[in-house]
Amino acid sequence: MVHAPLVVYDTRDACEKPRFVFMQHGSYLLVPVEDQPLLGDGQVLLYRGIMDAQHFKMPRFERSSPARRSVWLRYLGLQAHVLSDSVLSFNTIHDRAVRTETMHIRDRSFLSDELAERRGLMIKREGLARQLWDATRQSFALCRWVAQSKFGPNFVVARTPLDNIRITTFFAQEYEARSIDPERVELLEAHGCEVDVGGAR
């Protein structure tokens, strides 16, 4: 298991509304306190809007065979490597950003893909490595309104331990976070959609 370093502070914004400040390797987010009621227990709520889609897929990964365990261990090794260096961590979590606000931070570099392939993760071929890679590139929001109003109306709410997320910095006010281990993400609510929980093979 890989644990991501992250600090959270209590503060107030310019309008004196209570906020949590999430900070991780150069990234930061200002999150309304009411959107994260489980933080005191070391858990974060993750919100994902799916627009008008009727189904949200929660992946589950079979890891019983030696080959599949090997893929999983390579993936965890890559995450540990990336998180061991703050500059590398910042650049890899933003390597897919495609916004005018992010051009100065080497967006669109796909650096993490390059590092994955160097470590023997075949993310461009069908199979567990690609399915795992796609699942962990799925962004969630730490604020409910983003999922409900910006990317809704259909959305899901999940929770995961605080040390299982990586955050992007405060661009476009989407409050983005990704999970490291998708199996440590637990679904709590589904609004306007059904959830398909399925194994990736």
Asked if residue 67 belongs to a domain, the reply is yes
- Taking 3-state DSSP, the helix, strand and coil percentages for the chain, each rounded to the nearest 5, stand at 35, 30, 35
pLDDT band at 60 (very low <50, low <70, confident <90, very high): confident
Long-range pairs for 117-122: beta carbons < 8 A, 24 or more residues apart = 119/74, 119/77, 119/78, 119/81, 120/74, 121/71, 121/74, 121/75, 121/78
Asked if residue 1 belongs to a domain, the reply is no
Asked if residue 184 belongs to a domain, the reply is yes
Asked if residue 179 belongs to a domain, the reply is yes
**With pLDDT > 90 as the criterion, what percentage of the chain qualifies?**
77
Q: Does the pLDDT value for residue 100 go beyond 80?
A: no
Q: Does the pLDDT value for residue 106 go beyond 80?
A: no
Asked if residue 52 belongs to a domain, the reply is yes
Q: Which domain holds residue 182?
A: 7-200
Q: pLDDT, tens digit, for every residue of 133-179?
A: 999 989 999 999 999 999 999 999 999 999 999 998 876 678 999 99
Based on the structure, what is the number of domains in the chain?
A: 1
Inter-residue contact 165 to 177 (CB < 8 Å): yes
